[in-house]
Amino acid sequence: MMKVKAPVLAFLLCCAVCEAAISTPLLARQATGTSMSQLRNSATPRQRAAAFPLRARTPKSSLAAAANVWCPVIGVATSNALYFSPLAATLERTKAGSMGSLNPLPAAVTVLSTIAWLQYGLSVANPFVVASNVPGLTAAIAGFVLMLPLMKDKADLPLTQATFIGGCAATLGLWTWLVFSHATAVVRSSILGYWASAFFIVLCASPLSTIKKVVQTKNAASIFALTTAAQCANCGLWSAYGYFGVKDVFVWAPNVTGLVLGLCQLALKLIFPNKDKGTPGVAFSENKFGF
DSSP 54-105: TTSS--SSHHHHIIIIIHHHHHHHHHHHHHHTHHHHHHHHHHHTS-TT--HH
In a domain, 115, yes or no: yes
**φ, ψ of residue 223 in degrees (nearest 5):** -100, 120
Give 119's pLDDT tier (boundaries 50, 70, 90).
very high
Burial class (CB in 10 A: 0-12, 13-18, 19+), 224: buried
pLDDT tier for residue 272 given thresholds of 50, 70 and 90: confident
CA torsion through residues 87, 93, 95, 97, sign: negative
State residue 220 phi and psi, 5-degree precision. -95, 20
What mean pLDDT is predicted for residues 75-92? Answer: 90
pLDDT grade for 290, boundaries at 50, 70 and 90: low
Question: What pLDDT score does 89 carry?
Answer: 84
Residue 184 has pLDDT above 70, yes or no: yes
Looking at the domain assignment, is residue 69 inside a domain? yes
Task: State the DSSP code for 279.
Answer: -
Residue 249 lies in a domain: yes
Residue 282: inside a domain: no
Q: Angle at Cα 137 formed by Cα 134 and Cα 141, nearest 5°?
A: 145
Q: Could you tell me the residue range of the domain that residue 35 belongs to? A: 2-49+62-271
Most confident of 79-88, 146-155, 206-215, 236-245: 236-245
Q: Is residue 291 part of a domain?
A: no
Quote the number of domains for the chain.
1
User: Which conformational region is residue 218 in: left (phi greater than 0), alpha (psi within -120 to 50 degrees), or beta?
Assistant: left
Please tell me the predicted confidence (pLDDT) of residue 44: 52
Domain assignment of residue 13, yes or no: yes
Q: At residue 12, does pLDDT exceed 60? A: no
Could you tell me if residue 253 is inside a domain? yes
In the prediction, which pLDDT does 222 show? 75
What is the spatial distance between Cα 95 and Cα 97, in angstroms, rounded to a whole number? Answer: 5
8 A C-beta contact, residue 78 and residue 230: yes
Please give the pLDDT value at position 61: 65
Instruction: Give the pLDDT band (50/70/90) at residue 277.
Output: low
- Residue 14 has a pLDDT of 47
Query: Under a CB-based contact definition with an 8 Å cutoff, are residues 262 and 228 in contact?
Result: yes
User: Which residues neighbour 110 within 8 Å (Cβ) at sequence distance 6 or greater?
Assistant: 140, 144, 203, 287, 288
Taking all residues of the chain, what is their mean pLDDT, rounded to a whole number? Answer: 78
CB neighbours of residue 25 within 10 Å: 18
Residue 287 lies in a domain: no
User: How far is residue 87's CA from residue 141's CA, in Å, rounded to a whole number?
Assistant: 10
Query: What is the pLDDT confidence band of residue 205, given thresholds at 50, 70 and 90?
Result: confident
How many CA atoms lie less than 13 Å away from 284 in the CB half-sphere? 18
Q: Give the span between the Cα atoms of 33 and 77, in whole angstroms.
A: 35
